[in-house]
Amino acid sequence: MNAATDSPAAVAAVPAATPAPASRMARAALWVGLAVLIAAPFIGLYPIFMMTALCFAIFACAFNLLLGFTGLLSFGHAAYLGVAAYTTGWLVRSANLSPELGVLAGTLLAGVCGLAVGLIAIRRQGIYFAMVTLAMAQMIYFVLLQAPFTGGEDGLQGVPRGTLFGVLSLANDRALYYVVLAVFVAVFLGIKRIVHSPYGQVLKAIRENEPRAISLGYDVDRYKLLAFVLSTTLAGLAGSLKCIVVGFAALPDAHWSLSGEVVLMTLLGGMGTFAGPVVGAFTIIGLQNFLADRVGSWINVIIGAIFVVCVVAFRRGIVGELNAWQQRRRGR
Amino acid sequence: MEIFGIPLQAFLGQLLLGLVNGSFYAMLSLGLAVIFGLLGIVNFAHGALYMIGAYVAWIGMEKLGINYWFSLVTAPLVVGALGVLIERTLLKHLYKIDPIYGLLLTFGLAQIAEGLFREQFGVSGQQYAVPELLQGATNLGFMVLPNYRAWVVLASLSVCLGTWFVIERTRLGAYLRAGTENPALVQAFGINVPVMVMLTYGAGCGLAALAGVLAAPVIQVTPLMGSNLIIVVFAVVVIGGMGSILGSILTGVALGLVEGLTKVFYPEASSVVVFVIMAIVLMIRPAGLFGKEA
Amino acid sequence: MKLTRLSAACALTVAALAAPAQAQVSGDVIRIGLITDMSGLYADIDGPAGAEAIKMAIADMGGAVAGKKIEVLVADHQNKPDVAAAKAREWFDTQGLDLLIGGTSSGTNLAMAKVALEKKRVFISVGAATSALTNEQCSPYTVHWAYDTVALAKGTGNAVVKAGGKSWYFLTADYAFGSQLQADTSAVVKAAGGTIVGSVKHPLAASDFSSFLLQAQGSKAQILGLANAGGDTINSIKAANEFGITKTMKLAGLLMFINDIHSLGLKATQGMYLTDSWYWNRDAETRAWSRKFFEKMKRMPSSIQAGDYSAALNYLQAVKAIGTDDADKVLAHMRKTKINDIFAKGGYIREDGRMVHDMYLMQVKTPDKSTEPWDYYNVVETFKGDTAWTTKADTKCAAWK
């Protein structure tokens, strides 16, 4: 058994193509979800928790753009979240930049890092690509560890909330929550747009059968690289926002265990669907939050077990399974 | 005497320590390369298996009075059996689908193992005594080298070369290599390929456990010892070439030495130098130093 | 239909921003929270036993004060400052936490101090060492209770230099605590006429100290200053013995607790100097309290665990005295009241947040002099009152200058 790279059979085993056109039930579910999110601070949900979950939802959506829609597994995605978080944190705290500029800078820098890594990694395929991205991410991690301005093990502490555009004070948890929610909705819709665009169609073609796409004349490396950069940029956006929310940038933000977690969020929620990563992110963050001081290290065991179960028996993820069940019902 | 402004003593000392580390890298990447070569699985659980091997030795010592020398045999057997179990129940479902699932499954298994041991033992680690025969140290002039570390280098390099010999120079190894290239044909010849695959995974896990037992007296036995190492070992395997046995052994030792060297001149970079080298190698020779282009 | 939903969303948003912030819930319960390392390299010196010590304080107050029940919350920060800060914030926001006690690890305590300042609640740091808590990062809501890097430096640093250790090489844990301890000790050593030859930083909870120790040996300094703690100190000392470093250099453990000595044994540590804020075998009163602790935890308390007890006790006594748990009022009362309990006699809280009390320079006994398990120290010198701490002339706390 050779290391299968992109044999058609192997790739086709990656779950469903573009999600089926949203049924009425699916669309209603999306609206209900949005309504809950909008009402969250009033129905007793802790805003900091919700914002953290939303940031990770953005992270997972960005990751899914690469894995679910382009078929590329990047195993070091947390590095971009971390780079952006530290950049934003330092600019806002020590250079007194306003939050929106800080977030912008962090996001852009994450994209630049993504470009650098992508240029090296994109030549490789399948499992090698994953390994290369992992190792590159480790380099970034160690740079962050050693760089004097990051504070090493202590992290970058005391990042102020600031005022958005000079008018809206973000010190109020609720105000910040709606800003984060707005960004999340924009990212969600933006990814939908990208996937449904002609560019997105080419990505889908590349994911399903790369040799055929090449033979049709597409410069697949360029398309993949662009997807990679987009994905890392959005991952950076998640990191920058998170830094403003918790007032902190720390090493775990860039650690490979977080890279593993985002894979799980996407897998559990449903690769290749739109709502999947969001569902996965909220589930995992919710689990961690709820179980944190109740079960000690069992949380690792639970996360690992979910991984194993998902890979062996539940590859379509929550939303994927729901979609499939929907289709079966309609088909009857 | 000084080299580039660093006294020779410091140089040789760090190089020797680097050689010790390199032996561990070689053993672990060997197991990974064997598993990847035959099963196509990137065994993320390798670090966890190494950790479990060390704990089997420690538990054996504490609760059952099994001494170090017996543990060198019992730990690989126990963990090898665990590996066989994993292969039979979980991994075999994944051979026909995208290899990333193998990576993710073993990642999940590693998390489970780490979580269970953390729950049981905490994070701060247990001490494992150096066996009496190997206690004490030798004054080499430029440094004092604990005898145990010398033994580690000897033992791991012997195991590595022994494994290489089996795979490259014996009939069994020939079957293994043939099974990698064309399992259907090999099966047609009457070789039981599924059993061979199962035992190979078990053997790879056993190798990891052996490394764990060797490591136990050197570093503390903690649930995190595997995850601290695994990424570096992956980098070693990628640099060496993902299916190449000899590549992983040589690269492992070489990288240990390079790390040691880096500690002399620029200690902070020692953790990152492996990845820098990996980036460079991948740009020049994408298949790794000894690998065959996939 | 879409438009209606959109406008409804907008209306909600505006209403949300205009609404006044929800009043902080204090409820009828006094909540004390301990965030510390429960499972890692510092778990023995504070950890779950620290939580037990706090419970002992609550029991000694009768379980309730000023008509309100007392509850303890415990969390593991795993030595990660972001986890500590997030947990502290969550407890202040959703659990009405009244007193936050900071466990081990300086990085986490600095982060928690910031959160307590933002939320204007009482924060007593017991387990952390960094003197920054009462200097650059001093705050009206932070009280630093047990010990700090300045006291450690003045104590052990001076003692070792006086005993002949003039040239130093540092092995430092690479985070806030290690750097601060190295800095403070270097200042003391230089002032006493010693020299600093060099230093090397090791990652927190490092697994293998061999390469760092080789570098230390190459420096040819007389003293190897261990600017680390807990499991790191234990492993450094073990490795130093293994590699024969102890034949050419003397080890100075700048922060050591009785649990470390217990782990390493008297043979490996005899003669070492250490500075600490409390010793269970100091006098009859401490012995009595420690035996009660021993019955529960099967080991003698460290100074941090005694500090947890003392901090909780004094806070509760203040709340009892003034009948409210309002942070500013409680702190004002605590600042006016002397601390007289098993931990300290005649202690008081200074303007910079430092709880001033006696510190002790101790030396580890030789095995033949130890009369019972845990009988490990001789008290060599007592630093009375404010002699061990940062002076007004040196302070970097703006509020105290």
Give me the domain span that covers residue B67: 19-222
Closest Cβ opposite residue C218 in set B9, B118, B222:
B9
Give the pLDDT confidence score for residue A6 in this predicted structure. 40
Q: Kindly state the greatest CA–CA separation across chain A.
A: 63
Structure tokens at C330: 């409680």
Q: Quote the number of domains for chain A.
A: 1
Q: Quote the number of domains for chain B.
A: 1
Give the pLDDT confidence score for residue C152 in this predicted structure. 93
Q: Kindly state the greatest CA–CA separation across chain B.
A: 64
| Inter-chain touch B294–A302, beta carbons under 8 Å | no
Q: How far apart are CA C247 and CA A149, in angstroms?
A: 39
Q: B-side interface with C, Cβ within 8 Å?
A: 7, 9-10, 13-14, 17, 118, 122-125, 127, 137, 139, 143-144, 146, 218-220, 222, 225, 228, 260, 263, 267-268, 270
pLDDT-derived band at C16, boundaries 50, 70, 90: very low
Q: How far apart are CA B284 and CA C12, in angstroms?
A: 58
Give the pLDDT confidence score for residue C6 in this predicted structure. 37
- Structural element, H or E, at residue C382: strand C377-383
Task: Give C79's contacts in chain A (Cβ within 8 Å).
Answer: 153
Closest Cβ opposite residue A311 in set B104, B112, B278:
B104
DSSP code, position C57? H
**pLDDT 10s digits, C247-296:** 889 999 999 999 999 988 898 888 889 999 999 999 999 999 999 999 99
Distances from the Cα of C92 to the Cαs of B127, C97, C200, in angstroms? Answer: 39, 5, 39
Task: Give A3's contacts in chain B (Cβ within 8 Å).
Answer: 36, 40, 99, 242-243, 294
Residue C255 is which amino acid? L
* Helix then strand then coil, % of chain C, to nearest 5: 45, 20, 35
Q: Examine the pLDDT at A261 and tell me if it is beyond 60.
A: yes
The answer to whether A81 and A242 have CB atoms below 8 angstroms apart is: yes
Q: How far apart are CA B209 and CA A73, in angstroms?
A: 29
Q: Examine the pLDDT at C20 and tell me if it is beyond 50.
A: no
Structure tokens at A299: 């949380």
Residue A133 is which amino acid? T
What is the pLDDT of chain A when averaged over all its residues?
88
Q: What is the C-alpha end-to-end distance of chain B, expressed in Å?
A: 47
| Inter-chain touch C85–A248, beta carbons under 8 Å | yes
Give me the domain span that covers residue A247: 28-40+47-331
Give the pLDDT confidence score for residue A332 in this predicted structure. 62
| Inter-chain touch A303–B100, beta carbons under 8 Å | no
Q: Output the 3-class SS for chain A.
A: CCCCCCCHHHHHCCCCCCCCCCCHHHHHHHHHHHHHHHHHHHHCCCHHHHHHHHHHHHHHHHHHHHHCCCCCCCCCCHHHHHHHHHHHHHHHHHCCCCHHHHHHHHHHHHHHHHHHHHHHHCCCCHHHHHHHHHHHHHHHHHHHHHCHHHCHHHCECCCCCCEECCCEECCCHHHHHHHHHHHHHHHHHHHHHHHHCHHHHHHHHHHHCHHHHHHCCCCHHHHHHHHHHHHHHHHHHHHHHHHHHHCCECHHHHCHHHHHHHHHHHHHHCCCCCHHHHHHHHHHHHHHHHHHHHHCCHHHHHHHHHHHHHHHHCCCHHHHHHHHHHHHHHHC
Q: pTM for the complete prediction?
A: 0.89
Torsion of CA A199, A200, A204, A209, to 10 degrees: 10
Helix (H, G, I), strand (E, B) or coil at C256: coil
Q: How far apart are CA A116 and CA C47, in angstroms?
A: 44
The answer to whether C229 and C172 have CB atoms below 8 angstroms apart is: no
Look at residue A200 and tell me if it is in a domain.
Answer: yes
Q: Which residue in chain C has the smallest CA separation from A42?
A: C16
**pLDDT 10s digits, B224-242:** 899 888 989 988 988 988 7
DSSP code, position C302? P
Look at residue B117 and tell me if it is in a domain.
Answer: yes
Q: How far apart are CA C14 and CA B196, in angstroms?
A: 67
Give the pLDDT confidence score for residue C2 in this predicted structure. 37
Q: How far apart are CA A266 and CA A72, in angstroms?
A: 13
Q: What is the C-alpha end-to-end distance of chain A, expressed in Å?
A: 39
Q: How far apart are CA B59 and CA B50, in angstroms?
A: 14
Q: Which residue in chain A has the smallest CA separation from C119?
A: A171
Q: Which residue in chain C has the smallest CA separation from A294?
A: C75
| Inter-chain touch C81–A174, beta carbons under 8 Å | no
User: Residue length, chain B?
Assistant: 294
Give the pLDDT confidence score for residue A128 in this predicted structure. 80
| Inter-chain touch C243–B144, beta carbons under 8 Å | yes
- Contact of C285 with chain B, judged by CB distance below 8 Å, is answered with no
Closest Cβ opposite residue B137 in set C78, C235, C244:
C244
Look at residue B236 and tell me if it is in a domain.
Answer: no
Task: Calculate mean pLDDT across residues C317-325.
Answer: 91
Cross-sheet strand order for the sheet of C223-227: C195-202, C167-173, C223-227, C250-253
Q: Is the dihedral of CA B148, B154, B158, B160 positive or negative?
A: positive
Residues linked to residue C74 through DSSP beta bridges, in sequence order: C34
- Contact of C265 with chain B, judged by CB distance below 8 Å, is answered with no
Helix (H, G, I), strand (E, B) or coil at C372: coil
Q: Output the 3-class SS for chain B.
A: CEECCEEHHHHHHHHHHHHHHHHHHHHHHHHHHHHHHHHCCCCCCHHHHHHHHHHHHHHHHHHHCCCHHHHHHHHHHHHHHHHHHHHHHCHHHHCCCCCHHHHHHHHHHHHHHHHHHHHHHCCCCECCCCCHHHCCEEECCCCEEEHHHHHHHHHHHHHHHHHHHHHHHCHHHHHHHHHHHCHHHHHHCCCCHHHHHHHHHHHHHHHHHHHHHHHCCCCCECCCHHHHHHHHHHHHHHHHCCCCHHHHHHHHHHHHHHHHHHHHHCHHHHHCHHHHHHHHHHHHCCCCCCCCCC
Task: Give B268's contacts in chain C (Cβ within 8 Å).
Answer: 201
Give the pLDDT confidence score for residue B1 in this predicted structure. 60
Contact residues for B169 (Cβ-Cβ < 8 A; gap 6+): none
Plot region of B206 (φ>0 → left; ψ -120 to 50 → alpha; else → beta): alpha
Look at residue B207 and tell me if it is in a domain.
Answer: yes
Shortest Cα distance, chain A CAs vs residue B182, angstroms = 6
User: ipTM of this model?
Assistant: 0.87
Give the pLDDT confidence score for residue A53 in this predicted structure. 95
Q: How many CA atoms lie within 13 A of C381 on its CB side?
A: 13
Helix (H, G, I), strand (E, B) or coil at C19: coil
Give the pLDDT confidence score for residue A21 in this predicted structure. 56
Q: How far apart are CA A55 and CA C261, in angstroms?
A: 45
Shortest Cα distance, chain A CAs vs residue B70, angstroms = 30
Tell which residue, C121, C101, C114, has the closest CA to residue C26: C121
Give the pLDDT confidence score for residue B292 in this predicted structure. 67
Owner of token pair 């003293």? C223
Look at residue B283 and tell me if it is in a domain.
Answer: no
Q: How far apart are CA B132 and CA B125, in angstroms?
A: 21
What is the pLDDT of chain C when averaged over all its residues?
88
Helices (H) and strands (E) in chain C, counts: 14, 16
Structure tokens at A81: 């979240």
Give the pLDDT confidence score for residue C26 in this predicted structure. 58
The answer to whether A104 and A289 have CB atoms below 8 angstroms apart is: no
- Contact of C328 with chain B, judged by CB distance below 8 Å, is answered with no
Helix axes C106-119, C81-94, angle to 10 degrees: 30
| Inter-chain touch C39–B137, beta carbons under 8 Å | no
Owner of token pair 């589930």? A283
Task: Calculate mean pLDDT across residues C176-202.
Answer: 93
Structure tokens at A65: 């753009």
pLDDT-derived band at C4, boundaries 50, 70, 90: very low
Burial of C289 (0-12, 13-18, 19+ CB in 10 A): buried
Out of A62-66, A290-294, B132-136, C2-6, least confident range: C2-6
Q: How far apart are CA A214 and CA A223, in angstroms?
A: 11
Choice between A18 and A57, residue whose per-residue pLDDT is larger: A57
Look at residue A17 and tell me if it is in a domain.
Answer: no
Q: Which residue in chain C has the smallest CA separation from B228?
A: C207
Tell which residue, A46, A86, A78, A38, has the closest CA to residue A62: A78
Q: Give the percent of chain C with pLDDT over 70.
A: 94
Other residues' Cβ atoms within 10 Å of the Cβ of residue A39? 13
Shortest Cα distance, chain C CAs vs residue A252, angstroms = 8
Q: Which residue in chain C has the smallest CA separation from B123?
A: C40
Task: Give B282's contacts in chain A (Cβ within 8 Å).
Answer: 120, 124, 132
Q: Examine the pLDDT at A22 and tell me if it is beyond 60.
A: no
| Inter-chain touch A307–B108, beta carbons under 8 Å | yes
Owner of token pair 């399992």? B183
Q: How far apart are CA C317 and CA A307, in angstroms?
A: 50
Exposed e or buried b for every residue in A107-133, given b needs 16+ CB within 10 A?
Answer: bbbbbebbeebbebbbebbbbbbbbbb
Look at residue A321 and tell me if it is in a domain.
Answer: yes
Give the number of beta-carbon pairs within 8 Å between A and C.
82
Look at residue B294 and tell me if it is in a domain.
Answer: no
Q: Examine the pLDDT at A14 and tell me if it is beyond 60.
A: no
Mutate to test the interface with A, among C12, C82, C130 (most CBs of A within 10 A): C82
Owner of token pair 């059996």? B81
- The stretches in chain B having pLDDT less than 70 are 1-6, 292-294
Shortest Cα distance, chain C CAs vs residue A156, angstroms = 9
The answer to whether C353 and C338 have CB atoms below 8 angstroms apart is: no
Helix axes A99-121, A126-146, angle to 10 degrees: 140
| Inter-chain touch B234–A134, beta carbons under 8 Å | yes
Q: Give the percent of chain A with pLDDT over 90.
A: 61
- Contact of A286 with chain C, judged by CB distance below 8 Å, is answered with no
- Structural element, H or E, at residue C102: strand C99-102
Q: How far apart are CA C301 and CA C279, in angstroms?
A: 9
Closest Cβ opposite residue B14 in set C40, C44, C214:
C214
| Inter-chain touch C243–B17, beta carbons under 8 Å | no
Q: Output the 3-class SS for C146-196.
A: CCCHHHHHHHHHHHHHHCCCCEEEEEEECCHHHHHHHHHHHHHHHHCCCEE
The answer to whether C267 and C342 have CB atoms below 8 angstroms apart is: no
Q: Which residue in chain B has the smallest CA separation from C42?
A: B124
Look at residue B48 and tell me if it is in a domain.
Answer: yes
